[in-house]
């Protein structure tokens, strides 16, 4: 379950549509159960008021205030706009509550959860009090007890789903062992507590109350079903979001790290170069990277992609990259065009790296597209590309990304001291440009 939490709540891994649907459904269910609990507290207050005798204290219905306020705050807790207005209120109590709700509560609990936990316990204490307003009226006592148990039952179910299985912060989430223990132990403990509180003033008609309290055990199967649904959601979105994270990392590296490397090489070999032009060059590459991350890469031909990679080099380095134009008219869709540009930019950057002796190698690019597979070959005349990269390096991430697309990244000896790098993967769709 901890791994499921990390997959669902790591912002880098979220698939926007399923995640937003899950958040919306959880918020809607929490709001609905909070409204049910609010109605239950009002029902208990009304029953208490109607059963008051001439000698009873008129303050007994106020015991339900904790439960009612907790349910109201639980509904407000799902409305960020209302919480923001409360945090800016002129009235100090309202502002303090708004700040508490805006902050998200304490480490494990929050204000609505505390009130909705102790509120029904207070109502159960009132219902079972020997000198309380329900003495001698077993029917009203049974109805009030049922409403109290329904309040606490829906509250416990909401707590199990949100606080144990749907923590917004993985670092503050319950451990797996504690989560599994809590969802079984907490309902049992609450059943015992409510049975003890409600049976203090019971007679023959209330012998079913302990059995009624045991209905909390029905919450356990509900959480099991929720866990299965959670696993199904993760099984569907995990591969796509993992691939998206690798793709974004590859785009960022090829669009920012590689151009920065060219600038460093230029500064090393030409200390007196024009710094302003280099800054303008880096700014342009950064803008193109952000645009591709915010929007998808446009459809492009292989020739346009190669030309774009060549243009991403510094003007003095562009002549060192040569390309075979035989497949230049092949059109790639947005996904494959973005990947092809990242692959070419990364491989060309490694191939064009200067050696310690200051030698500036040349690189040649060849592309072929047959039977739905695109193959990119980058050959250098040494000593550019190295195949001794470590996990976490750009070429390692590139190999992982290609493997997820039924592709691979191979290194072979090239001419002389050079290297031949072959990247291939299955493309979604290609066509000839007209």
Q: Is 264 exposed, middle or buried (0-12, 13-18, 19+ CB in 10 A)?
A: exposed
Q: How far apart are CA 48 and CA 41, in angstroms?
A: 11
Q: How far apart are CA 391 and CA 211, in angstroms?
A: 58
Is the same domain home to 226 and 113?
yes
Residue 387 lies in a domain: yes
- The torsion angles phi and psi of 360, rounded to 5 degrees, stand at -110, 100
Residue 260 lies in a domain: no
Owner of token pair 């691939």? 243
Domain boundaries, position 170:
2-238
Residue 231 lies in a domain: yes
Is the same domain home to 304 and 172?
no
For the four alpha carbons of 307, 312, 313 and 315, in that order, the dihedral sign comes to positive
For 63, which DSSP code?
A: G
What is the pLDDT, as a whole number, of residue 2?
A: 42
Q: How far apart are CA 18 and CA 230, in angstroms?
A: 11
Is the same domain home to 179 and 324?
no
Q: How many helices (H) and strands (E) does the chain have?
A: 15, 8
Structural domain tally of the chain? Answer: 2
Domain boundary among 190, 221, 238: 238
For 77, which DSSP code?
A: T
Is the same domain home to 215 and 309?
no
For the four alpha carbons of 57, 58, 60 and 62, in that order, the dihedral sign comes to negative
Q: Which residues contact 67 (CB under 8 A, 6 or more apart)?
A: 37, 40, 41, 44, 115, 116, 119, 120, 122, 123, 151
Q: Render 178-239 in DSSP notation, one character per residue.
A: HHHHHHHHHHHHHHHHHHHHHGGG--GGGTTHHHHHGGGGGHHHHHHHHHHHHHHHHHHHHH
Q: How far apart are CA 81 and CA 60, in angstroms?
A: 35
Is the same domain home to 184 and 56?
yes
Decide: 342 and 251 in contact? Cβ < 8 Å. Answer: yes
What is the pLDDT, as a whole number, of residue 39?
A: 92
* Beta strand extents in 78-198 (DSSP E only): none
Work out whether strand 430-432 and strand 373-380 pair parallel, antiparallel, or are unpaired. Answer: unpaired
What is the pLDDT, as a whole number, of residue 165?
A: 44
Is the same domain home to 177 and 308?
no
Is the same domain home to 43 and 188?
yes
Structure tokens at 168: 């917004």
Work out whether strand 363-370 and strand 321-323 pair parallel, antiparallel, or are unpaired. Answer: parallel
Q: How far apart are CA 190 and CA 346, in angstroms?
A: 60
Residue 376 lies in a domain: yes
Residue 86 lies in a domain: yes
Domain boundary among 207, 238, 269: 238
The three-state secondary structure class of 379 is strand
Encode the chain (434 residues) as per-residue pLDDT tens digits. 344 444 444 444 444 555 556 566 667 777 888 888 899 999 999 998 988 877 778 888 889 998 999 888 888 877 777 877 888 888 888 888 888 777 654 444 567 878 888 888 888 888 888 888 887 777 888 888 888 888 888 887 776 666 544 444 434 444 555 656 666 677 777 777 887 787 776 654 454 555 555 555 555 555 555 555 555 555 555 555 555 665 666 666 566 666 666 666 666 655 555 556 666 666 776 776 666 666 666 788 888 888 888 877 777 778 888 887 666 677 888 778 878 887 888 888 777 776 555 667 788 888 888 878 888 888 887 765 665 565 556 677 777 778 777 788 888 877 777 788 888 888 875 444 43
Is the same domain home to 102 and 233?
yes
Q: How far apart are CA 79 and CA 81, in angstroms?
A: 5
- Using alpha carbons only, how large is the chain's radius of gyration in Å? 33
Residue 251 lies in a domain: no
430 bridge partner residues? 332
Q: How many residues does the chain have?
A: 434
Q: How far apart are CA 18 and CA 8, in angstroms?
A: 10
CATH number assigned to the domain comprising residue 393? 3.30.565.10
Domain boundary among 238, 268, 286: 238
Residue 24 lies in a domain: yes
Residue 404 lies in a domain: yes
Is the same domain home to 344 and 414?
yes
């Amino acid at each position: 379950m901890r791994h499921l939490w990390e997959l669902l709540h790591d912002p880098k891994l979220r698939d926007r549509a399923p995640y937003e649907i899950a958040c919306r459904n959880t918020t809607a269910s929490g709001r609905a159960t909070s409204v049910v609990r609010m109605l239950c507290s009002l029902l208990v207050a009304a029953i208490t008021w109607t059963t008051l005798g001439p000698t009873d204290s008129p303050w007994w219905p106020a015991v339900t205030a904790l439960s009612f306020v907790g349910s109201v705050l639980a509904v407000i807790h799902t409305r960020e706009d209302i919480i923001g207005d409360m945090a800016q209120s002129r009235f100090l109590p309202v502002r303090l509550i708004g700040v508490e709700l805006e902050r998200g509560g304490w480490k494990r609990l929050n204000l609505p959860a505390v009130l909705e936990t102790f509120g029904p316990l207070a109502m159960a204490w009132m219902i079972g009090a020997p000198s309380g307003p329900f003495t001698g009226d077993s029917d009203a006592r049974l109805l009030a007890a049922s409403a109290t148990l329904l309040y606490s039952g829906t509250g416990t179910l909401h707590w199990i789903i949100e606080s144990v299985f749907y923590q917004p912060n993985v670092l503050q989430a319950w451990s797996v062992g504690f989560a599994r223990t809590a969802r079984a132990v907490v309902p049992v403990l609450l059943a015992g507590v409510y049975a003890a509180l409600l049976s203090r003033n019971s007679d023959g008609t209330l012998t079913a109350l302990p059995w009624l309290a045991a209905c909390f055990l029905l919450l356990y199967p509900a959480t099991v079903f929720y866990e299965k649904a959670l696993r199904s959601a993760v099984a569907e979105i995990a591969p796509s979001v993992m691939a998206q994270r690798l793709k974004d990392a590859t785009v960022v590296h090829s669009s920012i790290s590689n151009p920065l490397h060219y600038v460093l090489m230029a500064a090393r070999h030409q200390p007196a170069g024009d710094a302003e032009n280099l800054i303008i060059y880096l700014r342009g590459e950064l803008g193109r990277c952000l645009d591709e991350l915010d929007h998808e890469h446009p459809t492009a031909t292989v020739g346009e992609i190669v030309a774009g990679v060549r243009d991403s080099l510094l003007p003095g380095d562009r002549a060192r990259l040569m390309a075979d134009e035989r497949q230049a008219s092949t059109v790639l869709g947005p996904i494959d065009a973005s990947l092809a540009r990242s692959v070419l930019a990364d491989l060309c950057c490694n191939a064009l790296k200067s050696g310690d002796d200051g030698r500036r190698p040349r690189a040649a690019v060849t592309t072929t597209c047959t039977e739905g597979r695109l193959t990119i070959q980058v050959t250098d005349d040494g000593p550019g590309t190295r195949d001794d990269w470590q996990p976490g390096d750009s070429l390692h991430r590139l190999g992982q990304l290609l493997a997820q697309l039924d592709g691979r990244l191979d290194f072979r000896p090239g001419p002389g001291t050079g290297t031949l790098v072959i990247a291939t993967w299955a493309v979604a769709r290609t066509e000839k440009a007209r």
